[in-house]
Amino acid sequence: MGFSDARFDVNLSILFTEVPLLERPAAAAAAGFTAVELWWPWIETATPDQARLDALRDALNAAGTQLVGLNFYAGQLPGPDRGALSVPGAESDRFRANIDVAADFARSLGCTALNALYGNRVDGVDPKDQDELALENLQLAARAAHRVGAVLLIEALNAPESPRCPIVSADKAIEIVDRVNDATGLDNARFLMDLYHLSMNGEDLTEVIDRYTDRTAHVQIADNPGRGAPGTGALDLEALVTRLQKAGYDGWVGLEYKPSGPSADAFEWLPAPLRAARR
């Protein structure tokens, strides 16, 4: 077990960003990857026109890359305005307008995991009101995900980098997962276990893995400190991936780290034969 048995995908919103969006699937394929994931690619709009959606779908298909994870609209990402679904007003409206757009785009590519970032606390707004709004919007997202045969992912961010986000622990993310499943009865909300964010929060990663692997539908990794490739920080990511596998996880492991140079050179830790999707 370990890296040699994992199924890796590469996040095209943090890697290969030195080339335009429509060129990234081919760049990932040239680096040996057959599976990719994306944050919502158009931060300026939750509802891009069909031509833009078609162009990205065509680029993914032409490169032979499978989209295995997609974020719903989440505002400025990366940036300080992460998340939209719990932010009253225009941002929440944009999230709602995006739900079916994102779900249908995911279905058109066989993508079965949709990630919904919660959103920051807002000055002058009661946190309880934000949480009620969030639950309403997450129910809508869960139903859309169910309609297209996908799971809804709930992710914990980290307090040092996202101090206004209320979901900065595995326990809190699982609490939201349970609330959504209880509210919809669909049981399609799951935990997105991002080992970088959890380590930044000071969590015991082995304990999180042991407690919550059975609630987890997607994993993302980056080393800490620095959010770099495995081996650039202090985390024993191969041991953690092995522990996940022993706990029964056989899903995708998303590479969501910052390259120190050209993205094509950011995978020396992972031999090329291991980058292709294995089912």
Q: Which helix (H) or strand (E) holds 197?
A: helix 195-200
The torsion angles phi and psi of 185, rounded to 5 degrees, stand at 70, 10
Phi-psi region of 253 (alpha: psi -120 to 50; beta: other; left: phi over 0): beta
Residues recognised as catalytic: 155, 256
Cα 10 to Cα 136: distance, rounded to the nearest angstrom = 31
Q: List, in sequence order, every beta strand (DSSP E) within 175-274.
A: 189-194, 216-221, 252-255
Encode 73-100: b = buried (16+ Cβ within 10 Å), e = exposed: bbbebeeebbbbbbbeeebbebbbebbe
Query: Which residues, listed in sequence order, are joined to residue 194 by a DSSP beta bridge?
Result: 220
Cα 117 to Cα 128: distance, rounded to the nearest angstrom = 17
